[in-house]
Amino acid sequence: MTIVQNVVLPHDDVRLPLYVESPARTGATPSCVPGIDVRSRHAATLQGGHRFSFATYFNGFPATFWCRLTAVRDVTLRLRLTGSGRVTVYRSDATGAATLVAERMFGATGALAGQDVSSEAVAETAVDIAVALSLDGFEDGGWYWFDLEATNDVELVHGSWDVTEDQAPGRPEAADARTTIGITTLDKPDYCVRTLRALAHSPEAISVIDQIVVVDQGTAKVDAEQGFGEVAAALGGKLVVVDQPNLGGSGGFSRAMLEALEGGSASVLIMDDDVEIEPESVLRAVRFAAACRQPTIVGGHMFDLQHPTVLHSWSETVEQSNFMWGAAAKAAERHDLADSGLRDAEWMHRVGRADYNGWWMCLIPAEVLRRIGLAAPFFIKWDDAEYGLRAAERGIPTVSLPGVALWHISWLDKDDTIDWQAYFHERNRLVAALLHAERPRGGKLLRDYRRLHLKQLLCMQYYAVALRHRALRDVLAGPAGMHASLATALPEARALAEVFPETRSRPIPPGPPVTRASCEPRPGPKGLALALFTLRATIRHLAVPVRASRPQRVLAKGEATWWHVPFYDSVLVEKADHTGVNWYRREPRTFSHLWFESLWLTWVTARRWTELSARYRAAMPDLTDPPTWARTTGRAADPRRERDEGPRRHPA
């Protein structure tokens, strides 16, 4: 038998609702499950007289995913228990409706019934329970899970969901699949060491890891971080540290992809640096990918590191009407599983469409790398979405697999649409559309650009719009310089900030920022009111003289909306991370220049769309080719290196 999913438990109570819950709890806090004492990652003591459900994100079995995408037709739930009680197994359908499918008694009420034994003997006698379950009938949706009812104190020693080896598909790499973990980092050595430690302390994860490649692109080096030596010794020859210039996420991940191909791994599992990993996820992703009928990209979900039970989204898609990424199901966006878990969230019982998975955690089979190439040279933003769309065009699916996840810093704490990253948002979305848009000129994409530029101009975010214009000009220049720009685009974007004083962070002034209760901003205008508002605000920014030179208000980030800020001449806006404020001042001449430049650049882009699309599509095979990336990263094409006893370091 092959374990494809272990029953796991958390290190802290805050995350407990993702692992186990009490169906009978009433009035308890979401993280409170009375009567459970977590002993280790796999074991817990369950107090007698209580019932516990493993109908949770990390411990339910996502049967519909296995049914639809793999050759596996049966799964076996295995539990080792002491004490006495009852195990009940349930299955759900696509609507979330649950049906009891199996029941097992154990201890004095079951396996030991009829024996003259003391309660102490019952408590110390381990009972193995195996429940064979069919995966037929899960095509439309559904999960398996189990509940434990403890008659007296029960020790959950271990639990797992297993499949037989003869159910694996005929793909040769599925037999003994191992992965290369690829972590790209920039000055986050503390996070990296914590991730490495979590992996080193997980035998299940280590069993399917061929090597761990840390691509260090920063100045605060991972191997200089406190605790690195201990972790490196624990990982031994599996750890590789690569030094290379900052080539962004796509540069770092492509380097890890190259290492995976050279090392002979069945896949590469790439992940961000500023995360906390659930190490069990590695085993699950590798085993699921190995069982798939065809090469499949297996992505993990993202939970909010500051709010650990909040799920970012269930799956990600690119909306072709305006070629913009987003959650496939709005109901699943920013959903708190502590408030509404697997039993209550109907959408969790279906697979859901996924055009791509975020590269916060994503497993890509080596066969896919060989067929469609490595990442597009995007630096950051849209490289994951473009890759998923490219794979789909070659018949390679992407799935975001429940139970495979990590915790990541939320986007809500970042200003990445108005700082230097605005350049990459604009350029890479447009290039991805030129490559993969199904509608002429990307549907409403260019209209969205004009609207976004105007909104940012009305908010006096001139730097962000100047960056977006630079991005458009670079796209119009063609694809030839994309690899070369990996090393130059970021410093150039940051240098441009010196021209715009609103980019300088200032200390937060005394007193609270204006809040919704005190300033009561209007909700966003719609329909005819929106058109009239936009016209009025635009005329004001073009023609009305500036009357206020000193800040008129201090606004919290959430209050600095594009329909509130435009009627100030000077305003302080709190940064998303609450570390300071930015001072925005109205400049009619700058507004006029940038607005008319926006109209001109989007018109030229629309006029040249067909030609540009053909050029970028023709260039894509070379841009993503492993030898091209090897030259860009400075990766020598050495033969596979021998394993050694300690961490390896490879300069670029």
Find tokens 């035998």 and name the residue.
203
**336 annotated active-site:** no
Asked if residues 299 and 401 have their Cβ atoms less than 8 Å apart, the reply is: yes
DSSP 442: G
Structure tokens at 464: 């962000």
- Mind giving me the DSSP string for 134-155? E-TT-SS---EEEEEEESS-EE
Strand partners, 500: none
Find tokens 């878990």 and name the residue.
341
Nearest to 640 by CA among 275, 291, 253, 211: 211
Nearest to 315 by CA among 60, 21, 62, 617: 62
Structure tokens at 138: 């899960």
Tell me how far CA of residue 457 lies from CA of 96, 449, 453, in angstroms.
Answer: 46, 12, 6
Asked if residues 182 and 257 have their Cβ atoms less than 8 Å apart, the reply is: yes
- Mind giving me the DSSP string for 466-534? HHHHHHHHHHHT-STTHHHHTTTHHHHHHHHGGG-GGGS-BPPPSSPPB-HHHH-PPPPP-HHHHHHHH
Tell me how far CA of residue 279 lies from CA of 8, 199, 210, in angstroms.
Answer: 10, 6, 15
Give the distance between the most distant pair of CA atoms in the chain: 95
- Amino acid at residue number 536: R
Helix axes 462-476, 489-496, angle to 10 degrees: 140
Active-site position among 147, 272, 384, 474: 384
Helix axes 609-623, 422-436, angle to 10 degrees: 100
Nearest to 176 by CA among 200, 199, 202, 209: 209
Asked if residues 75 and 66 have their Cβ atoms less than 8 Å apart, the reply is: yes
* Count of residues making up the chain: 652
R_g (Cα) of the chain, nearest Å: 27
Find tokens 């606004």 and name the residue.
555
Structure tokens at 296: 């499949």
Nearest to 180 by CA among 228, 225, 242, 227: 242
Asked if residues 334 and 301 have their Cβ atoms less than 8 Å apart, the reply is: no
Please state whether beta strands 316-319 and 310-311 pair in parallel, antiparallel, or not at all (unpaired).
unpaired
Q: In what order do the strands lie in the sheet containing 98-106?
A: 51-53, 144-150, 85-92, 98-106
Q: Which residues are catalytic?
A: 384
